[in-house]
């Protein structure tokens, strides 16, 4: 296997691992993987355009997933603010029965 192919494989494995962590919301692990990916940056200028394009596409995929996660977190935060402003929250138990929880109970559940 050529040095370039080996390089691409190593970076691809790391980018795929980061994608799995993002999808599982294990963002702390992404920091370690990111640091490992950064060690490859010095070799990037020496790669052919096709290899760079494939790596860029994987990095873009991860960036898109992170942006989607951030949007979801912002939406969740907005929803919790709305619930807190209402002073109560309606929820359902395992049997489907509706329950109204006071907001102070919500903090313990979340």
How many CB atoms are closer than 10 A to CB 44?
Answer: 13
Of the candidates 40, 21, 39, which has an alpha carbon nearest to the alpha carbon of residue 30?
21
Low-confidence ranges of the chain (pLDDT < 50): none
- pLDDT of res. 103: 64
Query: In whole angstroms, what is the distance from residue 40 CA to residue 6 CA?
Result: 12
Cβ partners under 8 Å of residue 66, min gap 6: 22
The per-residue pLDDT for 105 is 52
How many domains does one find in the chain?
Answer: 1
| Whole-number pLDDT of residue 24 | 94
Q: Which domain holds residue 75?
A: 3-109
């Amino acid at each position: 296997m050529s040095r370039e192919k080996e390089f691409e494989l190593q970076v691809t494995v790391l980018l795929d691992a980061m994608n799995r962590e993002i999808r599982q919301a294990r963002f702390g692990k992404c920091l370690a993987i990111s640091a490992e990916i950064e060690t490859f940056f010095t070799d990037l200028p020496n790669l052919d355009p096709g290899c760079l394009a494939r790596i860029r596409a994987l990095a873009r995929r991860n960036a898109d997933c992170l942006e989607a996660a951030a949007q979801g977190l912002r939406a969740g935060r907005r929803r919790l603010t709305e619930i807190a402003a209402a002073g109560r929250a309606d929820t359902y138990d395992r049997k489907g029965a509706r329950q109204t929880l006071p907001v102070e109970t919500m903090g313990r559940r979340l």
